[in-house]
């Protein structure tokens, strides 16, 4: 991925059951510390967090227009910036421009801060790059409740220059009718996308 030229991407990936189950053991564990104050590094030992850029690219313009995208196969809809290049493969769809994101839908039980902490942190520990968890908490969005996880990570190395950037990741976990969806938004640390990310996360709806 050309980090400095392609800063905004939203990918919508739907998968079958089994990506992230929430077990009874996870649901019954209640003796963990408050997630709102949690900051924990779960990165691979071989990779250290890189320093954020001083003037990072990645801002979505305030004048950016949005349009609704609806997936009949996936049974969800959300607003996306108008004019982004879109690629669809079956139930998967990718929008590319200046921001990164990912939605995964699977059959599971309702997510909780505890199940997200347990399952997602384990996955990040195995696959992430210098991940630092900032917070995991319940949030109330326009279309219902969700669990929000915020963390920082290193990007994948640029295939040509091997350059990496420090990323801010904003993940939302939605649930309805036995399905869980994960919306992931990311951009270089310091990029100002608060209003636009709020709009995207509040517009997401499972039908």
202: enclosing H helix or E strand: helix 194-203
- How many Cα atoms are found within 13 Å in the side-chain-facing hemisphere of 38? 21
Q: Please indicate, yes or no, if residue 2 is contained in any of the structural domains.
A: no
Confidence of residue 14 (pLDDT cuts 50, 70, 90): very low
| Partner residues linked to 64 by β-bridges | none
Rounded to an integer, the average pLDDT of 6-34 is 41
What letter does residue 112 receive in the DSSP assignment? Answer: -
pLDDT tens, 94-130? 776 655 566 777 778 889 999 998 888 788 878 899 9
Is 1 among the domain residues? no
Q: Which two tokens stand for residue 105?
A: 């839908």
Q: How many structural domains comprise the chain?
A: 1
Provide the residue range defining the domain that includes 137: 8-206
Q: Where are the beta strands (DSSP E) in 6-118?
A: 8-12, 40-41, 66-71, 76-81, 85-89, 92-97, 100-107
Note whether residue 74 is domain-resident: yes
- Residue 162 predicted with pLDDT over 70: yes
In the predicted model, is pLDDT for residue 23 greater than 60? no
For residue 120, the surrounding DSSP H or E stretch is: helix 113-127
Mean pLDDT of the chain: 76
CATH number reported for the structural domain that contains residue 92 in this entry: 3.40.1000.10
Q: Does residue 88 lie in a domain region?
A: yes
Give mean pLDDT, residues 39-68: 74
Tell me, yes or no, whether 38 lies in a domain. yes
pTM above 0.85, yes or no: no
Give the C-alpha separation, 95 to 82, whole Å. 10
Q: For residue 156, what are its two tokens? A: 């994948």
Q: Is residue 158 part of a domain?
A: yes
Bridging pattern class, strands 8-12 and 100-107 = parallel
Q: What is the pLDDT of residues 57-93, one digit of tens each?
A: 667 778 889 999 998 888 889 998 888 778 776 666 7
């Amino acid at each position: 991925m050309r980090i400095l030229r392609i800063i905004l991407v939203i990918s919508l990936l739907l998968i079958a059951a089994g990506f992230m189950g929430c077990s009874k053991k996870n649901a019954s564990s209640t003796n963990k510390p408050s997630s709102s104050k949690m900051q924990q590094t779960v990165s691979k030992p071989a990779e250290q967090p890189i320093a954020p850029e001083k003037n990072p690219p990645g801002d979505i313009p305030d004048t950016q227009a949005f349009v609704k995208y609806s997936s009949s196969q996936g049974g969800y809809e959300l607003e996306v910036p108008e004019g982004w290049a879109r690629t669809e493969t079956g139930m998967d769809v990718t929008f590319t421009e200046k921001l990164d994101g990912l939605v995964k839908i699977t059959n599971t039980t309702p997510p909780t801060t505890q199940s997200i902490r347990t399952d997602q942190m384990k996955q990040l520990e195995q696959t992430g790059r210098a991940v630092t968890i900032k917070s995991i908490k319940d949030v109330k969005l326009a279309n219902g409740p969700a669990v929000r996880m915020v963390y920082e990570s290193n990007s994948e190395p640029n295939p040509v220059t091997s350059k990496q950037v420090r990323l801010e990741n904003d993940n939302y976990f939605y649930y309805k009718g036995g399905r869980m969806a994960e919306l992931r938004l990311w951009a270089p640390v310091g990029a100002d996308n608060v209003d636009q990310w709020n709009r995207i996360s509040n517009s997401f709806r499972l039908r």
